Structure 1
């Protein structure tokens, strides 16, 4: 059993809204704290809440929240994907947990799902409070991986040109240029495919998620180098992934570059199974909880 506490705390651009899942309302002892970061463009209800709930059921105090400009959190422009800003939001969330009476003093764990792994690892690389890291179906890219997934150097150049034009428009008019995050009929969509998780209202296609991507964010997203940050991550790190999920080569290279203790658990499933499907989520949550038990 777990209890959910709706919370808010201050980020760089205002209030951030979150859900703090606590292990047991009757538990006398404070619990170890874990931050949960969902994947890019997501709101907390899509997968972060699910993992926070699973961790609370396993004895942890887990915080999921909407990043700046997403969901119920404040901040503008809306739905702007910024790895640096999201790492900063995780720092603000860590500050909040440190002052919460239900959270035990001491080390902090962070769990990142898909691109949340990039934000979690970037935060861990710059903040010694992170003592344990769990990365679930991690999307961890560098320039080479971006070229492989976004149409080579020409595709990246095209996206950056569109981002520059969108940035100029925003600075001149305040209007944000958006494309869909997911759409099989829109070639310029961030993910130009029909993906059931995001389009199915029984899964991630929920009203809280507007399915839009701020075009001017492409430059920051494409220039982020998670692999280069790996040597700065010294906290014990668990990666849970599948060869059928997204860019397993990036996860392998990130794992190889880590300087702290690292464990890799390979399992089955496509990328989106790790967001909400019982076998994959349960296995990943079990593995993360065991990892945190050993390392926090």
Structure 2
């Protein structure tokens, strides 16, 4: 293990400022360090992943954590208030706006991930040809989605991931989308709207979730992928999420599926060391 540095950075995702941190090994690397982008889950913050990023950096990897737009230290997405005049000319305007925060929107979040990836790949001291992605909980699904759509990702690790929207609720969610489009409801402003999930922070944009499938993206993944699950997962049916993703990925790339005898949140505490060591072993082997 080597010492590492931790540095806050600011980047832009489709014009929205994101807060992030770069963890780097202190020792020099003439060819650049392999790098890992870390993606947290539903309601998570970059600070929650600092201990993972620090461990990766101590093992010789550059690592990056970040807050999704509208979460933690990142700016919220800005939309015009409904009573403003039509915005039909380009350029700067002064007007009333609404700031959206703590929305769980997989489309925005995966866009943020790809912009963070662009930043990380251009970071001095990083080998842009050796970038892996690690995600946990809802971010585990995002990691697989990104690996299936972006060839800059060479290795993926998805921990206790969520991989899609329940199909039995899709028509209901599409009804939400229609009501939003017609201006009949405004479920995502303010926070904790009518579709909030008990026990989870933030408001899911179910209209966007219904049309976004991390599981379908798994069929596109062609890079080595490790899926880590909780055997007694209580938030999702792991056989329909992590295991199903593994079964798709293994047809096109090296893949492993590993479980720990615990529930979802136990992976962060009781199984932190073994799960992180397992992920590091995977990155060491393929990155």
TM range (shorter): 0.7 to 0.9
- Matched-pair contact (CA < 8 Å) for 1:68–1:74: yes
List runs of 5+ in structure 1 lacking aligned partners: 181-187, 199-210
User: Which aligned pairs between 1:225-244 and structure 2 lie closer than 5 A?
Assistant: 225-244=213-232
Q: Report the Cα distance in structure 1 between the residues aligned to 2:9 and 2:159, rounded to whole angstroms.
A: 25
Q: Report the Cα distance in structure 2 between the residues aligned to 1:58 and 1:126, rounded to whole angstroms.
A: 28
CA displacement, residues 54-92 of structure 1 (integer Å, 9 cap, x when unaligned)? 212222111000112222112412222222222222221
- Does the alignment pair 1:247 with 2:247? no
List runs of 5+ in structure 2 lacking aligned partners: 78-99
- SS of the counterpart of 1:234? coil
Shift in alpha-carbon separation, 1:118–1:57, aligned structure 2, 3 A: same
- Matched-pair contact (CA < 8 Å) for 2:144–2:218: yes
Shift in alpha-carbon separation, 1:282–1:175, aligned structure 2, 3 A: closer
- Does the alignment pair 1:265 with 2:228? no
CA displacement, residues 248-288 of structure 1 (integer Å, 9 cap, x when unaligned)? 111111111112111111222211122x31x3121111111
In the other structure, the counterpart of 1:141 is: 164
Q: Report the Cα distance in structure 2 between the residues aligned to 1:69 and 1:59, rounded to whole angstroms.
A: 31
Shift in alpha-carbon separation, 1:282–1:237, aligned structure 2, 3 A: same
In the other structure, the counterpart of 1:43 is: 45
Kindly state the Cα deviation for residue 295 of structure 1 after the two structures are TM-superposed: 0.7
- Does the alignment pair 1:176 with 2:184? no
- Matched-pair contact (CA < 8 Å) for 1:22–1:56: yes
- Matched-pair contact (CA < 8 Å) for 2:187–2:195: no
Q: Report which structure shows greater RCO (CA 8 Å, sep ≥6).
A: 1
Q: Report the Cα distance in structure 2 between the residues aligned to 1:121 and 1:52, rounded to whole angstroms.
A: 19
Q: Report the Cα distance in structure 2 between the residues aligned to 1:212 and 1:117, rounded to whole angstroms.
A: 18
- Does the alignment pair 1:92 with 2:115? yes
- Matched-pair contact (CA < 8 Å) for 1:166–1:176: no
Q: Which has the larger radius of gyration?
A: 2
Q: Report the Cα distance in structure 2 between the residues aligned to 1:167 and 1:54, rounded to whole angstroms.
A: 45
Shift in alpha-carbon separation, 1:163–1:212, aligned structure 2, 3 A: farther
